[in-house]
Amino acid sequence: MIITIILILSFLIFNACNKSTKGTELNNNDVIENQDLIEEETKERVEINIAALKGPTGMGLVKLMEDAESGNTANDYKFTVAGEADIISTGLIKGEFDIAALPCNLASVLYNKTEGQIKLAGINTLGVLYIVETGNTINSVEDLKGKTIYSTGYGTTPEYTLNYLLSLYGLDPEKDLTIEYKTEATEVAAMLESATDAIAMLPQPYVTTVMMNNDRARIALDIDKEWTKLNDSKGVVTGVVVVNSEFLKNHPEAVEEFLNEYEKSADFVNNEVDKSAELVEKYGLFKAAVAKKAIPYCNITLIRDLKMKEMVEGYLKILYEQNPKAVGGALPSDDFYLHE
């Protein structure tokens, strides 16, 4: 009997200890989980000043702008939408902007001008240039021979892009056709809206504006597609995302969080066109009616790391060969590219 009682007591004591140990484990796990939640809640939010140009270069940001406005972002984002690239350039150099969406060649110019204080974090817009005509004579690049093309961007990337494209297909831009450059894209667009037999190279969303106002207008050629056919599939790089190197050094995690959220925003813009068009107008980038039709042709994206580096290097090299000033006098060094 005594032995039986001892065995029963031993069993009860063992079970009590075991339960106590399990309770401790659960409590420890709860403490760890609570600590993680506290760390997330108390994590210091970084204020990031972001600039974007009106038009396709900034369109991929609009969902992120809305999320930031409602407080649903990893950090605190303050956006500036500018109509002139000079405003963004000056702000970046002065340190007023931490991150910016701007033209690819301008990023290279700023890198050279600031001696490496601007880093390239991603490609946000591919080709947005199109050959538009109000007739039906252009179905290939070769068909441009002997024609007159109206365009903007003399002495800048649109001219270099068009010249390179023509040379790929064996056309001399100075001898085989006539290119008349206008000061503003709006000037070319206005001319096409009433024309019955005209050809022009225009960027989106001006292409869409013309087509909405003249039912004779059509997209004859996609510059990016024609470019990649004969250029090892390396397309035109229109817009990029850059970051101030000092800000990157101090807040690498915040930059990574921004880029992850930017990628989701770009995906949203491409997949939810109606809603995105409303946001494009809300945040002052373009009219919603035009944006709704233009977004599918704006090639909004976010390409990072080695693929970004390969595409940008190839594009900048083409610009450099035509005019070194287009990229700031020299091709950027490897430290220009933020990649793994």
pLDDT tens for residues 191-208? 888 888 899 999 999 999
Q: Are 303 and 101 in contact (CB under 8 A)?
A: no
Q: Are 194 and 187 in contact (CB under 8 A)?
A: no
Q: Are 74 and 259 in contact (CB under 8 A)?
A: no
Cis ω for the linkage preceding 205 (within 30 of 0): yes
In this predicted model, which residue has the larger pLDDT, 121 or 153? Answer: 121
Least confident of 24-28, 44-48, 107-111, 225-229: 24-28
- Tens of pLDDT, residues 298-320: 999 999 999 999 999 999 999 99
Q: Which domains, from first to last, does the chain contain?
A: 47-126+237-336 (3.40.190.10), 129-229 (3.40.190.10)
pTM (predicted TM-score): 0.84
Joined together, the tokens standing for residue 284 give: 């002052």
The model's confidence at residue 230, banded by pLDDT at 50, 70 and 90, is confident
- Tens of pLDDT, residues 162-194: 999 999 999 999 999 999 999 888 898 888 888
CA distance linking residue 135 with residue 217, whole number of Å? 7
Q: How many residues does the chain have?
A: 340
Q: Do β-strands 76-82 and 47-53 pair in parallel, antiparallel, or remain unpaired?
A: parallel
- Tens of pLDDT, residues 264-278: 999 999 999 999 999
